[in-house]
C-alpha cells in the first residue's frame, strides 16, 4: 500500500441535503416520524399517554402515503448522505387566514444535532412556503426545558413569540408558545 494512502485520515463525507417528499418516500417519512415520537414525544405533545405514541406505530401504509399526496401540505426530509435524519412539514391554513401556513413536526436525529441541520431544514421550509404564496408561518413550541433548542432556533430565524397558552392533555396541564413569522 502506498505510504501516502496510509497517511490519509479516514474522513467520512457528510452531504446534507433537503428533499421535498412525494408519495414514493412514504417509508422514509414513516421511519423518521416514528423515530421522532419515540425519542422526543414531549416535543409533539404526545408524551402524556403512551397509547398516543403506540397509535402512530400502528398506522396503515395508506396513512403515510395519503399525507404525502396532500396538496395543502409540504413535507421535507433532511438527508445525511442517503440516510433520513430530519423532518419538517407545513400545512396551508388559508381557511383560517389567507397566506397563513402552520409548521409542524420539526425534528433532527440526535446524532447530527448542533450542526445547523435544523436551521437548514427550517430555512428551506420557509422558502417552500413563500414559493406557494405563503405570507406568514406559525408554529407552537411546548413550554418545557427540552424545547429550548427549538425555541432558540425559531427566535434566530425571526419568529416572534406571541405568548403562552395552557391546555390540558390527558389530565396533564401543558403550556405552549405560539410563534409567528412574516414572510
Shortest distance, position 7 Cβ to ligand COA, whole Å? 32
Q: Which of 115, 130, 162, 182 touches ligand COA by CB under 6 A?
A: 115
Q: Which is nearer to ligand COA, 64 or 107 (CB)?
A: 107
d(C-alpha 8, C-alpha 34), whole Å: 38
3-state DSSP call for residue 31? Answer: helix
**Segment near ligand COA (CB under 6 A), from 5-13, 26-34, 66-74, 150-158?**
150-158
Lookup: cell for 46? 404526545
Q: Which stretch binds ligand COA (CB under 6 A): 17-25, 130-138, 151-159, 165-173?
A: 151-159
Answer yes or no: are the C-beta atoms of 109 and 35 closer than 8 Å. Answer: yes
The CA-based dihedral angle spanning residues 59, 61, 62, 66, taken in that order and rounded to the nearest 10 degrees: 90
Helix (H, G, I), strand (E, B) or coil at 110: helix
Alpha-helix runs per DSSP H in the chain? 3-7, 26-39, 50-57, 61-69, 117-131, 148-156
Residue 148 makes contact with ligand COA by CB under 6 A: yes
- Residues from 39 through 78 that contact ligand COA (CB under 6 A): 40, 43
Our CB check for ligand COA shows the closer of 119 and 160 to be 119
107 binds ligand COA (CB under 6 A): yes
Instruction: Select the residue interacting with ligand COA from 31, 53, 149, 178 (CB under 6 A).
Output: 149
CA-to-CA distance for 177 and 103, rounded, in angstroms? 13
113 binds ligand COA (CB under 6 A): yes
The verdict on 147 binding ligand COA (CB under 6 A) reads: yes
Amino acid at each position: 500500500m502506498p505510504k501516502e494512502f496510509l497517511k490519509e485520515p479516514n474522513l467520512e463525507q457528510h452531504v446534507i441535503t433537503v428533499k421535498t417528499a412525494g408519495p414514493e418516500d412514504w417509508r422514509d417519512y414513516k421511519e423518521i416520524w416514528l423515530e421522532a415520537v419515540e425519542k422526543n414525544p414531549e416535543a409533539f405533545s404526545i408524551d402524556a399517554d403512551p397509547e398516543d405514541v403506540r397509535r402512530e406505530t400502528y398506522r396503515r401504509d395508506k396513512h403515510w402515503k395519503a399525507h404525502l399526496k396532500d396538496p395543502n401540505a409540504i413535507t421535507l426530509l433532511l438527508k445525511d448522505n442517503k440516510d433520513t435524519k430530519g423532518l419538517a412539514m407545513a400545512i396551508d391554513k388559508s381557511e383560517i387566514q389567507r397566506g397563513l401556513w402552520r409548521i409542524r413536526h420539526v425534528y433532527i436525529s440526535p446524532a447530527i444535532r448542533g450542526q445547523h441541520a435544523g436551521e437548514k431544514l427550517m430555512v428551506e421550509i420557509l422558502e417552500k412556503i413563500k414559493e406557494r404564496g405563503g405570507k406568514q408561518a406559525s408554529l407552537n413550541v411546548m413550554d418545557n426545558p427540552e424545547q429550548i433548542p427549538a425555541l432558540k432556533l425559531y427566535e434566530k430565524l425571526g419568529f416572534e413569540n406571541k405568548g403562552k397558552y395552557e391546555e390540558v392533555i390527558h389530565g396533564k396541564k401543558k403550556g405552549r408558545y405560539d410563534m409567528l413569522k412574516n414572510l
